[in-house]
């Protein structure tokens, strides 16, 4: 790689300029962005499954309409992100093939089952809450198309977080059985939500370089700490107990100390051994294969339109 080009690139990044698709960029920058953005896209798409599972069973028409809209938003997020990743030169088919063959990762969080309606509250509140914590700084990521996709995603995501917290609040204020259900969902989603931020900084192979290139604007541990600090008072406010006996306010650091995350569980889920990992990928593959006719029909329709225009 030409050192003068590299130097100019680094100077632009350091000046907080956006790098755009046609600009020169180091191959490793392109690679790591393609990896991160496509995995982010896959997470949005696979993330539709645990909640989609509850659309027909939402407890009222209002809840059903909200959940349906929310799951559709996630599909939209996946599509913006695939578009952003495509600008780096990898086709959507290649990215989807990488997901279906198990080569590309997606967030560990979507490999856990949604057992009761309270899980839908917990996902909106905790999972979307963690997602926003990670995505707000990505609005300033150095790659223009990714940063711009994040602006809209974050607006929608904050609505998702509120709807989840509102479900959680209602259940926590409900009958003893509803409150028990909510506490149980909270217990099951708390630790996996903390794992969403990725391995600890000293064990995160990509963080240092991604911080230098301003792809990541905050580290995994910084974001995880912020999430804990914001979420613990929210749990207390609605009368839920955080399932962590080591959780303690630390006056000196102005944040909570919290217990050790089960990293063995994290790595086994990353490797594809999550409780419902196989089910998730099978559902995605089935959707892709069984609905191939829809893509083919849309392409045939477009080709006909173009041919008519050309005639």
Q: What are the residues binding ligand ACO (CB under 6 A)?
A: 35-36, 39-40, 43-44, 47, 105, 107-108, 131, 134, 195-199, 204-207, 210, 216, 220, 270
Count the helix, strand and coil residues of the chain and give each as a percent rounded to the nearest 5.
70, 5, 25
Structure tokens at 118: 């309270």
Closest to ligand ACO by CB, 63 vs 70, is 70
For residue 7, the minimal CB distance to ligand ACO (Å) is 24
For residue 156, the minimal CB distance to ligand ACO (Å) is 10
Distance CA 236, CA 186 (A): 12
CB under 8 Å to 14, separation ≥6 — which residues? none
CB under 8 Å to 242, separation ≥6 — which residues? 186, 190, 232, 235
For residue 244, the minimal CB distance to ligand ACO (Å) is 19
For residue 21, the minimal CB distance to ligand ACO (Å) is 19
Closest to ligand ACO by CB, 163 vs 210, is 210
Closest to ligand ACO by CB, 41 vs 172, is 41
Do residues 189 and 123 touch, judged by C-beta distance below 8 A? yes
For residue 302, the minimal CB distance to ligand ACO (Å) is 29
Closest to ligand ACO by CB, 182 vs 215, is 215
Closest to ligand ACO by CB, 35 vs 148, is 35
Distance CA 78, CA 45 (A): 6
Diameter over CA atoms, the chain: 74
Neighbours of 66 (CB within 10 A): 19
């Amino acid at each position: 790689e030409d050192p003068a080009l590299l130097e100019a690139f680094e100077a632009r990044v350091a000046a907080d300029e956006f790098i755009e698709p046609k600009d020169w960029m180091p191959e490793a920058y392109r690679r790591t962005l393609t990896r991160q953005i496509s995995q982010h896209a896959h997470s949005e798409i696979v993330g539709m499954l645990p909640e989609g599972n509850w659309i027909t069973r939402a407890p009222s028409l209002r809840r059903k309409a909200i959940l349906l809209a929310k799951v559709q938003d996630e599909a939209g997020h996946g599509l913006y992100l695939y578009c952003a990743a495509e600008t780096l030169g990898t086709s959507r088919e290649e990215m989807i093939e990488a997901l279906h063959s198990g080569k590309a990762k997606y967030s560990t969080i979507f490999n856990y089952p949604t057992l009761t309606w309270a899980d839908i509250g917990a996902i909106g509140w905790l999972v979307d809450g963690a997602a926003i914590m990670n995505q707000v700084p990505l609005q300033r990521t150095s790659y223009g198309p990714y940063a711009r996709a994040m602006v809209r995603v974050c607006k929608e995501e904050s609505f998702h977080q509120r709807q989840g917290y509102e479900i959680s609040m209602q259940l926590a204020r409900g009958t003893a059985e509803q409150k028990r259900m909510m506490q149980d969902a909270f217990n099951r989603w708390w630790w996996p939500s903390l794992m969403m931020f990725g391995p600890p900084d000293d064990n995160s192979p990509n963080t240092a370089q991604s911080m230098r290139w301003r792809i990541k604007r905050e580290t995994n541990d910084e974001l995880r700490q912020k999430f804990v600090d914001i979420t613990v008072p929210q749990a207390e406010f609605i009368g839920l107990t955080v399932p962590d006996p080591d959780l303690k306010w630390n006056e000196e650091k102005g944040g909570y100390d919290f217990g050790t995350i089960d990293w063995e569980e994290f790595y086994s889920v990353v490797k594809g051994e999550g409780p419902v990992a196989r089910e998730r990928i099978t559902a995605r593959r089935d959707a892709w294969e069984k609905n191939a006719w829809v893509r083919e029909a849309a392409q045939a329709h477009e080709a006909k339109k173009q041919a008519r225009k050309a005639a």
